[in-house]
Amino acid sequence: MVLIISKPKGTADIFGEELKYWYFVESTFRKITKLYNYREIRTPIFEATELFLRGVGEETDVVQKQMYTFEDKAGRSLTLRPEGTAPVMRSYIENSLMKEGLPQKFFYIGPVFRYEKPQAGRMRQFHQFGVELIGSHHPMADFETIILALDVLNELNLHDYVLYIGSIGCKNCRQRYKEALKEYYQPNLENLCHDCQRRFDTNILRLLDCKNEQCKAYQKDAPSTIDYLCDDCKTHFDKLISYLDAMNIEYEIDGHLVRGLDYYTRTVFEIKHKSLGAQDTIIGGGRYDGLVEELGGPSTPSVGFAGGIERIILALKNENVSVPKISVCQVYIAVLNEEARIYSLKLAQSLRSRGLIVEVDLMSRNIRNQMKYANRINAQYVIIIGDDELKRGVFTVRNMETGEQVEVDEKWVENYIVEKLEE
């Protein structure tokens, strides 16, 4: 017996009715990014491993535990992209996109890979949509990415979410904050998990997003990043908040929000959906003023976010949002003999050229089974062509919903169907 091969753990096949959610999320995201005049960028699914080591940070969970890294046949180390920001910045530098002037505003949609323990809302291959706004240090840029993210959620008819916003400051104020964190954690160091004990020395901010239950207990009383901002960073943060207030946007300030990737500076934000369990962040983003330089480009302040499409679809289902149906077959042409079949080919092409969704018999079925099939695919109308019909030049048109059947002159059948579908 030949064993059936299953899909890898943490991946999904997406087909059938499920697709309507994907089309809805993706088309809504495209629609909103268009209103803000963002242009699409498509980067490779794999990149040099070095890009993520430098971009995302060696001490992050993503780099330490979650990357799909492999050697190609020439011995190069490559990695399936675990996120989209570093690749977009690599492309920005490599293609000298700064020459076209600033800001540069990009959006992307595509698969992302992280070796994580799969659970509801946590996959090994998942999909992100995201934007990167390159070249502005102004809090207006932070504001634009946040309001764009909210516009996407609102256009999707989602309501049960909360925007959390914080600032982790620049290098200088972060240094002061790290010292305060060290002081806070020092007396309890031995109660933390092994990873956190190591990160205490290598990257102490990571202690704030450790998922270990024991470590979590110490997170809530840790000092707040907001209290350690330098004057410039504080002004930046206050301005951003004033824009959110001016637009009556609801948010919660979170002084423990550090995000899981090392490139962030100043603004960080996350949008969580109340209906989701442990994996409730549907959108995450922030400012990353040092990344382009870190990757060898000129110093370029930037800000962006990414949303997890699978999680957003879970949220849509939990909120019972009604989503546009995938289009159904509008016309099925049933034929009774070979002459009718030839005729059906022309008629089908002609109807399709007018934008109608048309199917013909591909299985050489008898008329009863053709009608059954038309029923199964929810065809709206069936045109029946047989000997008699061809001789007389009139076709039978059946409305599959009402069962009503009329005879229509061959010359008028196309117009008749088009008009009926428009009604």
Does the footprint of ligand HAM cover residue 55 (CB under 6 A)? no
Could you tell me which residues come within 8 angstroms of residue 365 by beta carbon, excluding any fewer than 6 positions away?
Answer: 373
Q: Identify the three-state secondary structure at position 205.
A: helix
The one among 61, 132, 361, 389 contacting ligand HAM by CB under 6 A: 132
> Contact 173/280 with Cβ under 8 angstroms?
no
The one among 20, 30, 122, 138 contacting ligand HAM by CB under 6 A: 122
The one among 47, 311, 380, 390 contacting ligand HAM by CB under 6 A: 311
The one among 153, 282, 316, 379 contacting ligand HAM by CB under 6 A: 282
44/103 Cα distance (integer angstroms): 23
Residue among 264 and 343 whose Cβ is closer to ligand HAM: 264
Scanning 17-25, 113-121, 327-335, 370-378 for contacts with ligand HAM by CB under 6 A, the matching segment is 113-121
Could you tell me which residues come within 8 angstroms of residue 303 by beta carbon, excluding any fewer than 6 positions away?
Answer: 132, 133, 136, 141, 142, 145, 267, 285, 286, 287, 288
**DSSP code, position 122:** B
Scanning 116-124, 212-220, 238-246, 330-338 for contacts with ligand HAM by CB under 6 A, the matching segment is 116-124
142/369 Cα distance (integer angstroms): 59
Does the footprint of ligand HAM cover residue 92 (CB under 6 A)? no
Could you tell me which residues come within 8 angstroms of residue 1 by beta carbon, excluding any fewer than 6 positions away?
Answer: none
Scanning 118-126, 203-211, 326-334, 369-377 for contacts with ligand HAM by CB under 6 A, the matching segment is 118-126
Q: Cβ-closest residue to ligand HAM? A: 308
Type of residue found at 272:
K
Does the footprint of ligand HAM cover residue 301 (CB under 6 A)? no
Residue among 128 and 380 whose Cβ is closer to ligand HAM: 128
Nearest CA to 222 among 193, 188, 260? 188
- Give contact residues for ligand HAM (rule: CB under 6 A): 83-85, 114, 116, 121-123, 126, 128, 130, 132, 260-261, 281-286, 288, 304-308, 310-311
